[in-house]
A and B are shown apart, each in its own frame.
Chain A
Amino acid sequence: MTDDANAKKEPAAEKVEAPLPPGQYGQFLKEHGINSERLADSCGVETISLDGSQLDAALRLLKSSSEIKLDLLLTVSGVDQIETFDSVYHLWSYSHTNELVVKVRVPKTAVKEGELPCVPTITGFWPAANWHERETYDLVGIRYSGHPYPRRILNPWDWDGHPLRRDYKQPVDALNDKNPHSMR
């Protein structure tokens, strides 16, 4: 399996201090004036990190360009890393087998006390992202600015906190120990 061969190379790539040369998709975005940083491959799949302000333009391009055609958005996931909040986009295609992982990383130091990390939404041109973004907001607490309906999706609307955060404190009694603003 080619995936395995690539996975073994990964630790070696991490030791190198110099930035990795852009891959196929990084190069494509660069040609269109979008800067991206290449991260270590995840199991042989090209992984790039983008600035939040360029996310919309980059994904629009990747989705609609006739040569690239990464038109299947598999999932939008939020990861509470040690130092950053990552919003991760897994892009596949309906017509070919290439994949791309796009990450938007918001450093925790840039998030003000009492506020949520903010990433622009892509729901405007990609409806598949709608529910995924709502879910990520609900569970990881990343706010997608410009989302048409930014409500919790899996937890009750008056739930306190975001359960997949590292610092989340579980309610002792989730049924009775409820949010004081709740009307339940």
Chain B
Amino acid sequence: MALELSRIEDLKTDEMIINMGPQHPATHGVLRLILTLDGEVVKHVEPVLGHLHRAQEWQGQNRTWFQYQALIDRVDYLSGMFTSWAMARACEQLDGTVVPKRAEYLRVMLSEMNRITSHLLWLGTYLIDLGAMFGFPFYPFREREKLFDLFEEVAGQRMMFNYIRIGGVLRDPKPEWFAQLKKFTDEFPDRIDEYEAIVTQNPIFLDRTKGVGILNKQLAMDYGVTGPCIRSSGVELDLRKTKPYSVYPELDFKTIVTDHDGDTWDRYMARILEMRESNKIIQQCMAQIPDGDIIVKKQTAGLRVKAGEGFAAVESPRGIIGCYVTSTGGEKPFRFRWRNPSFCNLSILPELLVGSPISDIMAIFGSIDIILPDVDR
């Protein structure tokens, strides 16, 4: 049946409400987006969180310090080192502990390795989100596996490390481990060149990402966005530089600020460049690492932290991950509060998506690089 319309404006369209998720493959977990659509264009977005809520803060109040320490790697399972580190720093502040130099270097080294694995996973899955079904993810995952083998050797686990402990680190790696890591860092820049050769100037990739999901600087600051997302909008906020902690002042690296438009391509580029910087940091750490103790005092199950309250933050691959601890000196924490970068960065999503076509949703959403366990805790 032919439909005749004299003018296109006469076409009456209704708004349509569509649920994206929680089982959508590209939401990296279980996020539900309630989309109000006008044809192809997004009019309103309401994210529904909580499908992965595991009551991490409640568990913090109901576990001993020692038990909880093993749990928090699961807050953000792709970058467990950073959650452990935030907690360790908060507790060390309360205790007034000075961590041995060797332990600090090991923390920096393993955290930067963790940053690389996290960005590599993002790179692989982001390309799938954009429709690159030709097997590209196997390239970054190849390097990721190599790093996981190294993690496994030193921490005993591939993802949930529980390696950074209050007052130091768990285990000292063997000399052969350093040799393996050295081999990895030597060849890794060439591998990044490989990814870049496939992706960076790929016309399809440019079409999907250039000028898409532009994140305005002021808007990002109002929403408390941190990490590569805000650095690619031109704000120089990198805790490792702006509020240096651990041994970062002794290391030479750059803060990556890609200040072109703040679009999804910039966020991609920021992470690629960050991986190169992380690689440099690891190389420097290996050259500079001193001998010595790796932990102040060997931990026992009766671990306690002095009374008081403190907030500590570290720069994770997704932004500032913070930990607000209130202790009464008892065997359990009084209150544990997480400041999760994914949670805060996700709150910008409704602003970013409005006005863009439905096909861009995953390009924008993926570029923020959130991880749902970190959002829902």
Interface positions of A (Cβ within 8 A of B): 1, 3-4, 7-8, 10, 42-43, 45, 71-75, 77, 79-80, 88, 90, 94, 97, 99, 101, 126-128, 130-131, 139, 152-156, 163-164
Q: Are B58 and A163 in contact (CB under 8 A)?
A: yes
C-alpha spacing A163/B223, complex, angstroms? 26
Q: Classify the interface of chain B: helix, strand, loop or mixed.
A: mixed
Smallest distance from the beta carbon of A9 to chain B beta carbons, Å? 11
What sequence of 0s and 1s flags, for each residue 275-288 of chain B, a beta carbon within 8 Å of any chain A beta carbon? 00000000000000
Contact between A153 and B96, CB atoms less than 8 A apart: no
Residues of A within 8 A of B235 (CB): 94
- Nearest opposing residue in chain B for A153, CB measure: B49
Find out whether the CB atom of B237 lies under 8 angstroms from the CB atom of A94: yes
Q: How far apart are A72's CB and chain B's nearest CB, in angstroms? A: 6
**Which 5 pairs across A and B sit closest by C-beta, in order of nearness?**
A128-B224, A43-B310, A75-B339, A77-B337, A154-B50
Q: Bits for B343-377, please: 1 = Cβ < 8 Å to A, else 0.
A: 11001000000000000000000000000000011
Contact present for A7 and B221 (CB under 8 Å): no
- State which of B110-118, B141-149, B318-326 sits at the interface with chain A: B318-326
Cβ–Cβ contact A43 & B224, under 8 A = no
Task: For B226, list chain A residues within 8 Å (CB).
Answer: 72
Nearest residue, chain A, Cβ from B351: A127
Give A75's nearest chain B residue, CB to CB.
B339
> What is the CB-to-nearest-CB distance from B177 to chain A, in angstroms, rounded to a whole number?
29
Contact indicator B57/A42 (Cβ below 8 Å): no
Q: Which of B57, B221, B324, B343 contacts A90 (CB 8 A)?
A: B324
Interface residue range, chain B: 35 or more
**Chain A residue nearest in CB terms to B335:** A79
Q: Is the interface of A mostly helix, strand, loop or mixed?
A: mixed
* Alpha-carbon distance A4/B221, docked complex (angstroms): 30
Which residue among A72, A99, A152 has the maximum number of chain B CB atoms within 10 Å of its CB? A72
Complex Cα distance, B96 from A4, in Å, reads: 5
**Considering the chains assembled together, what is the distance between the CA atoms of A49 and B53 in angstroms?**
31
B50→A155 contact, CB < 8 A? yes
| Cβ contacts under 8 Å, A128 to chain B | 222-224, 344, 347
Once the chains are docked, how many angstroms separate the CA of A108 from the CA of B164?
38
Q: Are A73 and B224 touching (Cβ within 8 A)?
A: yes
- Kindly report which residue of chain B lies nearest to residue A135, judged by CB atoms: B343
Among B50, B61, B242, the residue within 8 A (CB) of A97 is: B242
Within the complex, the shortest CB–CB distance from A15 to chain B, in Å, comes to: 14
B94 is an interface residue with CB less than 8 A from chain A = yes
Choose among B53, B98, B224 the residue that contacts A74 (Cβ–Cβ < 8 A): B224
Which residues from 240 to 264 on chain B have a C-beta closer than 8 Å to any C-beta of chain A?
A: 242-243
- Can you sample 23 A-B contacts with CB below 8 Å? A3-B93, A4-B93, A4-B96, A7-B310, A42-B310, A43-B93, A43-B310, A72-B237, A73-B224, A74-B311, A75-B324, A77-B335, A77-B337, A79-B337, A90-B322, A128-B223, A128-B224, A130-B347, A152-B50, A154-B53, A154-B376, A155-B50, A164-B57
